[in-house]
Amino acid sequence: MANIVLVGFMGVGKTSVAAELSRQLGWTVVDTDDIIEADAGLTIPEIFEKFGEPHFRDLESQAVAAVAQKSQQIISTGGGAVLRRSNVDLLKENGTVFCLTATPEEIWQRVGHETHRPLLQTPDPQGRIRQLLAERAPYYAQADHTIDTVGKSPQDIAEGILQILDARTPGKVGAEY
C-alpha cells in the first residue's frame, strides 16, 4: 500500500489536492511542514529566523524519513523537500511522486498576499519565484509524474492522479495499490 506523494513549488496547490485525494481514498494526509512545526513547537518563519534554512532542511529530512516509513498516506511536502536527493529516494521507495506545477504568474497570484513563507519575504518576491523555479526545475523533474495545475480545480487534479495510478495498477487504488 504505497503512498501518494505531492511535491512542487509553494502555491501550486499541494494542500488542497492532498485534501481532495484524502476525501476520495479515505487515506490520511501527512504534511511535512505541519510535522516540522509540531515537533519543533515553532512556526516555519520562526525556525528560519532562529536557526536558518539549513537547520530547517535537516528538520524537513527528519520529517520525510518519518512519514516515508508508513503506507497508504497522502504525503504533502514543502516546496524545497526535493532539494535533497535522500528525501526524494525515501519518498520514491514507498510511494509514487507527483509534481504539481504552475506558472510563476499563477504562483504569485496564489501566494502574493501571504506572509508565512520566509523565502518569499524579499523586496522582489516575483523575481525570487522565477529564480527559485529555474534553480529547482531539475529537482522537480525527479518526480514520477508532473501535473500542470493551471486552470484545474483540486478535484480535476486529484482525478488525474487517480487515473494515472489506476492505469498503472489494476483494481481500485484504495484497495490494492
The residues of the shown chain that bind ligand S3P, judged by CB under 6 A, are: 10, 33, 44, 78-80, 117-119
What burial class does residue 123 get, using C-beta atoms within 10 Å of its C-beta: 0-12 exposed, 13-18 middle, 19+ buried? exposed
Task: Considering the complex, state which of residue 80 and residue 95 has its C-beta at the smaller distance from ligand S3P.
Answer: 80
The answer to whether the CB of 101 falls within 8 A of the CB of 149 is yes
Shortest distance, CB of residue 118 to ligand S3P, whole angstroms?
6
**What are 126's three cell numbers?**
516575483
| Axis-axis angle for helices 53-68, 32-40 (nearest 10) | 110
Shortest distance, CB of residue 10 to ligand S3P, whole angstroms?
4
Shortest distance, CB of residue 162 to ligand S3P, whole angstroms?
22
Task: Considering the complex, state which of residue 46 and residue 166 has its C-beta at the smaller distance from ligand S3P.
Answer: 46
Task: Considering the complex, state which of residue 128 and residue 174 has its C-beta at the smaller distance from ligand S3P.
Answer: 128
Shortest distance, CB of residue 169 to ligand S3P, whole angstroms?
28
Task: Considering the complex, state which of residue 1 and residue 28 has its C-beta at the smaller distance from ligand S3P.
Answer: 28
Output the CA–CA distances (angstroms, integers) from residue 77 to 14, 27, 50, in the order listed. Answer: 8, 16, 22
**What are 136's three cell numbers?**
529547482
The answer to whether the CB of 77 falls within 8 A of the CB of 28 is no
